[in-house]
Chain A
Amino acid sequence: MAFPRRKAAGAWPYWALAFLFVVTMATAACEFASPGQPSGAADRSRWGTPAVFTPAHATAGDAIKSFFDSRPDTVAQPFDFSHQIHLSKGAVCTDCHTGVEQGPRAGLPNVNTCMICHSQIATDRPLIQQLTKMQEQGLDLNWNRVYDYQPQAHVRFNHAPHIRAKVACSTCHGNQAEQTVARRAVNMTMSFCVNCHKEKQASNDCLTCHY
């Protein structure tokens, strides 16, 4: 007597399989985005936290943008500052980015830093007069960051040891003498960091940067 044959997989139409797959993946995605939630939940989870597409990206759009690394190289700044002019007059990076030799952050100059020189120099220019007015009113420049890391990159960077290791500012920030307002001249991917660390025989342990 022959055993009853099990139905072959071909008995499931392909569209049904595809549909099942999509439903399963969508459910899994929802579960991952907000664990313990019924699927198809609202934008915010039970705990009031924003929904996520993946842990690193809030939405699918963010993930795609990040994958193709499409973000503008220029960042709008509140003040029309020119690196080119300052460097051509003999100023050096550390004059304004004073923290760079001491600690993790190079620091973005505030109005008072500008006025150290500009209370005397080029006081007739409209931009400088604007600065003077800002200082009198107690306002400050809120610069926008040009180089930054996604918080999800978990990268900790410290400027000081790099300066001590004689890494030129231009290695990571491009030739500022050619730039007016700073733009992202160098794309700081992980391989950019790792290659330089290899060359200089610096530590390439994960905990060097990620913690």
Chain B
Amino acid sequence: MAYRWGMAVDLDKCTGCEACVTACHAENNIPTVGSQQAARGRAMHWIRVERYYEGNFPDVRVKFRPVLCQQCDNAPCEAVCPTYAAHQNEDGLNAQVYNRCIGTRYCANACSYNVRFFNFFNPEWVKPLNLQLNPDVSIREVGVMEKCTFCVQRIKAAKITAKAEDRGLVDGVLQPACAQACPTTALIFGDLNDPNSRVARLSHSPRGSKLLEDLGAEPKITYLDKQPWHEPDTY
């Protein structure tokens, strides 16, 4: 049976430490562009941690929300791509094929979550950072779009190993870099087609909601939140 990769993000667990962001940069060879270009909106972070402040001073609480590609079932980015560089693969991943991408940036404009990033420059790493590049992930050149892949290189490697050992994938062993780095295990990754997987059970949780659900993009990432979080008896 085909897999259907999804994720659950427990917002009550997220401390906003940004370990996921760092891990993602390291795993996926994501270049940095410097402060000037970042100010022009050209920074690339496949996952980011958004901050929301709630309440009035002095009773202020900050709420963190990691936002990565929502791997939508009904993805707006895919419909607008003229070259089918953005498409849905058999495992339900929103794939981005760099070879096909001609850099129209339509997908970034169509994306409701702002998680697609355009390579405005050829990436360069200051020595010795070039030595820490992940050989299993290609380096995207100028003019192509890139986005979170759910660490497809890890999914591939796990599938190949599982096939070699003639077994299925064990739930919770295969993790993308962000989930692996998360110190509070706020990010839970797994197969939504397996009803017993942690992520499948969590996505049916009454605490769950989808990001910008009313847009109808049908994201595969569920955000879990204590509702309402700010009631006095909850903290």
Contact = CB atoms under 8 A, between A and B. Distances in A.
Interface of A: 32, 35-36, 45, 47-50, 52, 54-56, 104, 151-154, 156, 158, 160-161, 164, 203, 205-208, 210-211
Interface string B133-148: 0001111111110000
B127 interface: no
A156 B163 contact: no
DSSP majority for the B interface? loop
B65 interface: no
Contacts of A158: 156, 160
Contacts of B137: 211
Contacts of B160: 158, 160-161
Given A32-B143, A47-B124, A156-B136, A207 B89 contact: yes
Contacts of B120: 35-36
Interface of B: 87, 89-90, 93, 95, 97-100, 103, 120-122, 124, 136-144, 149, 152-153, 156, 160, 163-164
B142 A207 contact: no
B142 A52 contact: yes
B102 to A, nearest CB: 9
A164 B89 contact: no
A197 to B, nearest CB: 13
8 contacts: A45-B121, A47-B124, A48-B124, A52-B142, A54-B143, A154-B138, A158-B160, A164-B163
A152 B149 contact: no
B95 A156 contact: no
Contacts of A45: 121
B99 A151 contact: no
Contact of B99 (A32, A104, A203, A210): A210
Given A47-B124, A156-B136, A210 B98 contact: yes
B90 A50 contact: no
Contacts of B141: 52, 55-56, 151-152
A154 B121 contact: no
A210 B156 CA distance: 11
Contacts of B140: 154
Given A52-B141, A206-B89, A164 B99 contact: no
Given A48-B124, A203-B90, A211 B103 contact: no
Contacts of B121: 35, 45, 47, 49
A69 B121 CA distance: 27
Nearest to B100: A206
Q: Which 9 A-B residue pairs are closest in the complex by CB-CB distance?
A: A55-B143, A49-B122, A154-B138, A206-B97, A154-B98, A55-B141, A211-B152, A207-B95, A205-B89
Given A161-B163, A203-B90, A49 B124 contact: yes
Given A48-B124, A161-B164, A205-B89, A154 B99 contact: yes
Which of A48, A152, A164 has the largest number of chain B CB atoms within 10 A?
A152
A104 B153 CA distance: 12
B55 to A, nearest CB: 42
A54 B101 CA distance: 12
A106 B90 CA distance: 29
